[in-house]
Amino acid sequence: MKLCDLTLPTPEENLACDEALLDLCEAGDSDELLRLWETPQRFVVLGYANKAATEVNLSACRELDIPVLRRCTGGGTVLQGPGVLNYSLVVRTDDSGPFHSIAAANKFILERHRDTLAKLIKAPIEWRGQTDLAIGGLKFAGNAQRRCRRFLLFHGSFLLYLDVGLLEKVLPLPSHQPDYRLNRSHSDFLVNLNVPDHTLKAALSSAWNATTPLDQIPFDLITLRVREKYSLDEWNLRF
């Protein structure tokens, strides 16, 4: 598996990069890959079908100058910024492979991450809800996927030392909650791993045997996706 440790300058480019890497693989120009990235700039990211008016405190985001964007995968709304490590897997969806269905991909990837993190922090990790990872009922990772004909994009975020107080200001309680949340506030539901980013990067790279650097970054396609999608209110605030 190829390794792409790449954070681009803007939030829009970072979201566009995941979609561009999926398109690159789908076109036959790259094999499976793992991307790792983190950003110093805070921004809110809606899931594909989320409604900004109900899932985001838009007035707080405007006051705090926090952009509101939308990604190409499902799942809930998140706050990106310092203290969040993101990963993106682009893998084959062969009928005979472990990623042949949504449920199979969830199981294979989340169980691998659960076991990897348990060894790293020396504590039990739980797979909760559909795609959450938690410690003692407290969530520290969420995940989502998008499937194409031959490849799958499966990506997520790990909370390392996120400012949960800021998250409380910009995100109301989600309209759809996993059963185990029990209507808890963000502060009572989320937990930071407090693991150095380089330590988690190394663990994930090892878990996926991602050692060969990706030497073909589709910068032209990323720029195109930003211009035609991720920089537009018609996409980001369309609901």
Distance from chain centroid for Cα 20: 15
106 is a domain residue: yes
Assigned domain for 239 exists: no
Per-residue model confidence (pLDDT) at position 67: 97
Decide if 60 is inside a domain. yes
Q: Residue 30 above 90 pLDDT?
A: no
How many Cβ atoms are within 10 Å of 199's Cβ, its own excluded? 14
Edge-first strand order for the sheet with 78-80 is: 68-70, 43-46, 78-80
Q: Which domain holds residue 68?
A: 2-233
In a domain, 96, yes or no: yes
H or E segment and range at residue 22: helix 11-26
* 53 assigned to some structural domain: yes
- pLDDT, tens digit, 9 for 90 and up, residues 48-84: 999 999 999 999 999 999 999 999 999 999 999 999 9
Counting the structural domains of the chain, the total is: 1
Residue 238 lies in a domain: no
CATH of the domain at 62: 3.30.930.10
Note the helical H segments in 27-101: 52-55, 58-64
| pLDDT of 157 strictly over 90 | yes
The residues near 60 (Cβ < 8 Å, ≥ 6 apart) are: 66, 169, 170
- Chain segment 57-66, per-residue pLDDT in tens: 999 999 999 9
Give this prediction's pTM.
0.95
| 152 token code pair | 């799958």
